[in-house]
Amino acid sequence: MDFFDHIQVITEGYLTHRRRIRRIKKEKQKAKNLILDWLESFIWAAGAVLLINQYLFQAYEIPSGSMIDTLLIGDRVFVNKIVFGPELLPGVGKLPSPIKPKRNDVIIFENPSYISKGPVFDIAQRIIYMLTLSLVDIDRDEYGEPKAHFLIKRGVGWGGDQFIQEKGAFRIRFAGETRWVSEQDFNEGRNFNHRLSRLVAPKDYAVLESAGKVTAYQDLGLTPPSALINAAASLNDMRYYDQFAYDRARLEVLRGAQPHNERYRTLHYSRYVQGWYIPEGRMFPLGDNRDNSRDGRYFGPIRETKVLGKGSIIYWPMVRIGSIR
């Protein structure tokens, strides 16, 4: 038998073996239960979705108006999970990343005020949420509304910064500087094109401050002056109001009436004179809808390592498709 005969025998043997393997696979496929076949396909697809959601891009639905007009209620967005280092498992550890969040990034993080039902429930909830691309959320409150397990805000302050809020507007003293600058001037100087939404009109602050003072008189067991009562009368007509302006006016009256009260003096200084100081390694998240956002003003700065991802794309509704800025 010459060389070419050897080649022919080897080739025929290989092709025969391959046909036999294919025939066996085909017979096994025919014998496989249809339900098991569907289940196997589903498991593979689910695994792929979980891997993508956990380590690359995750889908979220915007539940509130705290980021209007950047994000609207009902927007469905993809969050870039890999950019800042994804979690190894839902709620467990994080992979390191050389990329850190930047000022004014739209970020997602776990709500510091969230009360967990336990690690098993958290993992199950996040797996179901990811598999359904944010359509099903089993983590709900007693009224049937989804709990705010995660928050999407804008990272505005960084380590060493100091913030003060006056009538809904922020002033910033950046780390290493002595002068204060308004947030609006800072954003305009750097061409940041996101718009900060305000629901409280400037003229309404006189009403808010009067109402805060009326409440302080009542807390002290005193009768408020009629002028203050009249000035605060239209408070009930306001749908939204700046809680900080109201509290500041109330606290100023209480502090003036009881200067010996350490609690009033400390609260007034720490919140309304000193404002918020951002320690190193932390960031200050705020909603773009400043008069209707539960954000860092309530729960304080968050650790940079707690940032889970960066808002990337709005994918639904179709008329809103686009990048998040």
In the predicted model, is pLDDT for residue 7 greater than 60?
Answer: no
- φ, ψ (nearest 5 deg) of residue 53: -65, -40
* Average pLDDT for 264-278: 81
In the predicted model, is pLDDT for residue 20 greater than 80?
Answer: no
In the predicted model, is pLDDT for residue 191 greater than 70?
Answer: yes
User: In order of start, what are the domains of the chain with their CATH numbers?
Assistant: 56-157+286-320 (2.10.109.10), 202-270 (no CATH)
Q: Are 160 and 278 in contact (CB under 8 A)?
A: yes
pLDDT of residue 210: 94
Count CB atoms within 10 A of the CB of residue 312.
17
pLDDT of residue 53: 78
pLDDT of residue 118: 79
pLDDT of residue 29: 61
Better-predicted residue by pLDDT, 42 or 99: 99
In the predicted model, is pLDDT for residue 9 greater than 60?
Answer: no
pLDDT of residue 322: 93
Residue pLDDT, tens place only, 53-92: 778 888 888 988 999 999 999 999 999 999 999 888 777 7
pLDDT of residue 28: 63
| Residue 182 token pair | 């308004």
pLDDT band, very low/low/confident/very high, at 263 (cuts 50, 70, 90): confident
Give the integer Cα–Cα distance in Å for 139 and 126.
9
Indicate the burial class of 89 (C-beta count within 10 angstroms; 0-12, 13-18, 19 or more). Answer: exposed
pLDDT of residue 218: 95
* Average pLDDT for 172-180: 91
Give the integer Cα–Cα distance in Å for 286 and 295.
5
Indicate the burial class of 254 (C-beta count within 10 angstroms; 0-12, 13-18, 19 or more). Answer: buried
* Average pLDDT for 123-150: 81
Indicate the burial class of 237 (C-beta count within 10 angstroms; 0-12, 13-18, 19 or more). Answer: exposed
Q: What is the pTM of this model?
A: 0.78
Q: Is the omega angle on the peptide bond into residue 69 within 30 degrees of 0, that is, cis?
A: yes
pLDDT of residue 32: 57
Indicate the burial class of 263 (C-beta count within 10 angstroms; 0-12, 13-18, 19 or more). Answer: exposed
| Residue 101 token pair | 């969040």
Residue spans of beta strands (DSSP E) within the chain: 57-61, 76-80, 106-110, 150-158, 162-166, 169-173, 181-182, 276-277, 282-286, 302-303, 307-316, 322-323
- Counting every residue, how long is the chain? 325
pLDDT of residue 1: 52
In the predicted model, is pLDDT for residue 143 greater than 90?
Answer: no
In the predicted model, is pLDDT for residue 312 greater than 90?
Answer: yes
In the predicted model, is pLDDT for residue 12 greater than 60?
Answer: no
List, in order, residues 6 or more apart from 164 with CB less than 8 Å away: 170, 171, 180, 272, 274, 275, 276
* Average pLDDT for 158-162: 94
pLDDT of residue 15: 57
Residue pLDDT, tens place only, 211-262: 999 999 999 999 999 999 999 999 888 888 888 889 989 988 998 899 888 8
Q: At what angle do helices 205-219 and 243-257 cross, to 10 degrees?
A: 40
List, in order, residues 6 or more apart from 320 with CB less than 8 Å away: 72, 75, 314
Give the integer Cα–Cα distance in Å for 311 and 319.
18
Average pLDDT over all residues of the chain: 85
Report CA 299 to chain centroid distance, whole Å: 13
